[in-house]
Structure 1
Amino acid sequence: MKPTATPQTYLPFGLGEPRSFGSLTVVPLYNEAEPGIEYVGLDEALAGGLTVTEVNEAVETLLVANPRGTAVLLYEGEELVGAKQNRILERSILVGPGVKRSIGTGRDRGSCSTRSASTPLQPTSASRSNFTGRRPAQPRSKPHSITSASHAV
C-alpha cells in the first residue's frame, strides 16, 4: 500500500525516499542540521566562572561547577594544578551548562605539598604547559581518549 499524502513534519530532520519489501515500508530520516556541540576548554571556562574544588580532601575526586551557558570539555591527561595536590584527569569529560558534578582524577607524583585547599584556581601560563602529544601513564583497564596540555586550577 502506498501513502496517498506526504506526512508533514516539524522535526529537525527530513524524510528520504520510502523503500518497501513485502508489507514492510521503511522511510529513512536525515538530519537537516549540521551535528555538533559548542564547548570551551578549561582556561576559558575558569576565566568565565568555572570552579573546581576538593571533595572532603579526597585525592581521587574533585567537584566541578559550571555556571556558564556553554558546555566545558575537560581533556583526559589535563593537569589540574592547585589546592592541596596536583591532579591528572583520568578521562575526558563534557560538563554541561549549569551542571555541578564530581570528576575522577589521579594524583600527580610529587605534588603533595602544604598548600591550602583554598589555593585559588589559576589559568596556566604558556611556560607551565606540558603538552607532549602523549597520554600520561595509566592502568590499561581504563579507556583512553583525548590528550591535552596542562592547565592550572
Structure 2
Amino acid sequence: MRIYLPATAADLSSPEISPRLAHAATRALASALPEEDEEGLEVSASLCAADSSLVLLAEPGHETVSSRRVVIAADVDAQAVRELEAGDEVLPGTVELLVPVAWEDVAALLVDEAAAEADVAAARAGDEEAFERAAEADLLWFDACERRAVATDIG
C-alpha cells in the first residue's frame, strides 16, 4: 500500500520514519471523490499530506525547521496502517502508520521548491491566504536515494 507521510526537513536525517498520521488512496477517499481514478486518488492523498506537512511545521518545537513542505511516499504492508474514520477533523483517506518505515521502503520524496518558502513561512504563522497559495504550489519529485542531498539543500 502506498502512503503519503507528512514530514519536515528534519525527518530526512532520521534513521527511519516514525509512526504518524498519513494519507492514502483508500476506499473512503474513493467514495469521497468518485470521479477520480487511482492516479487522481494518489495525487489527492499526496496533496493532503502536503497540507498536513504545513500543519506539522506550524506546531511548537518546529520553529527552526526549514519552511518547505516535505511528503514521503512509502510502500508499506496494509497491516502497518489503520484507516481512521472520516469526520470533522479527519479527512477521508487518513491512515495511522503503526510501525516505523525504513528508508528502503520509500519510493519518493515530494518537496517544495525554494520559491514556495515565503508562503509556507507565512502560512506557518497563521496567514490563511498564504496557506492557500502554498496549497497551490507544486511539489518537486525526488528519488529516495536523493534523501541526503535534499536534506542538505533544504536544511
Q: TM-score range by the shorter chain?
A: under 0.3
By relative contact order (CA 8 Å, sep 6+), the higher-ranking structure is 2
Q: TM-score, normalised by structure 1?
A: 0.27
**Between structures 1 and 2, the one with greater helix share:** 2
Q: TM-score, normalised by structure 2?
A: 0.27
